[in-house]
Amino acid sequence: MDIRASLMGFAFAAMWSSAFTSARIIVTAAPPLSALALRFLISGLIAVALARALGQSWQLTRPQWRATIVFGICQNALYLGLNFVAMQSVEASLAAIIASTMPLMVAFAGWAIFGERLPVMGVLGLVAGVAGVSVIMGARLSGGMDPVGVALCVVGSASLAAATLSLRQASSGGNMLMVVGLQMLVGAAVLAVPAGFETHVVEPSWALFWAFLYTTLVPGLAATLVWFWLVDRIGAVRAATFHFLNPFFGVAIAAVLLGEALGPLDAIGVAIIAGGILAVQLARARVRRAAV
């Protein structure tokens, strides 16, 4: 793996992880689902406009439309929608840690339900991931974390894992940016329904403005583009190994920008989860190479 690919991987992980900190700022000052729907509307329109400028078509095939709708609902409406609601009472660092376990959920379901081969290193990685989450949850429970908020984060991650498994053979057919933009617009449309029942009280501030602008342009668009460039450069399986950085970045960014406490058990749990994710992803990469 060359230096440029490594830098792209680190950049993607940092941008993805930072989304939880900016989201936490947003949901403490604005209705979560309305803010997220507006974010997807803006990001989606920008992505579609860029895709059209690059010559991509919005006349998708039936499998592409299926992937667009499923991911628009599961990733944008359910996964992110539930996380935005949860982060009204759950710290950004904890939400980032739970979300970072999604690759472990995918690997476990692929192995347990679909019979996908997972070497011993991958199984040990799954065990380590569960152990790391248990360490963090045990520490946070004694600190009075909101169990309902945590449950929403878990359900959100599970919905994204389910979508990933159901569409693991899907292809964008060269219209990747267009597909991503349409997924965002699907998410905006779905979220607009429950957003209509929210109490629309906003506490305006520069922090809210910059957090919303950042989450719209950086995690929303830039991280997506960097991810696709990375996948194009080194392949999806190798690119996915960078997910092991997400727990570190998620906790560190929330601690620096929001002042969220980081105890010794949190640090130990994050390290164990990151090691588990890396072991699982490397094991899956080895299986893919052996199958070629």
| C-alpha–C-alpha distance, residues 93 and 252, integer Å | 8
Q: What are phi and psi of 100, to 5 degrees?
A: -70, -15
Residue partners of 8: CB distance under 8 A and separation at least 6? 226, 229, 230, 233
If one counts the domains in the chain, the total is: 1
pLDDT score, position 167: 61
**Within a 10 A sphere around the Cβ of 61, how many other Cβ atoms?**
11
Tens-binned pLDDT, residue by residue, of the chain (292 aa): 568 878 888 898 899 889 999 999 999 999 999 999 999 999 999 999 998 998 888 888 888 888 889 888 988 999 999 999 999 999 898 888 888 888 788 878 877 877 777 788 878 888 888 888 888 777 766 666 788 998 999 999 888 888 777 665 555 566 778 888 999 999 999 999 999 999 889 999 999 999 999 999 998 888 877 877 777 777 666 676 777 778 888 888 998 999 988 778 878 888 888 888 778 777 777 776 665 5
- 212, 218 contact by CB (below 8 A): no
Strand segments (E) across 109-265? none
pTM: 0.86
The tokens for 76 are: 């944008």
Considering Cα of 67, then 70, then 71, then 73, what sign does the dihedral take? positive
pLDDT score, position 118: 73
**Within a 10 A sphere around the Cβ of 193, how many other Cβ atoms?**
11
Strand segments (E) across 2-76? none
DSSP string over 91-105 = -HHHHHHHHHTHHHH
The whole domain housing 53 covers 3-291
Structure-derived torsion over alpha carbons of residues 158, 161, 167, 173, reported in degrees to the nearest 10: 120
- 177, 46 contact by CB (below 8 A): no
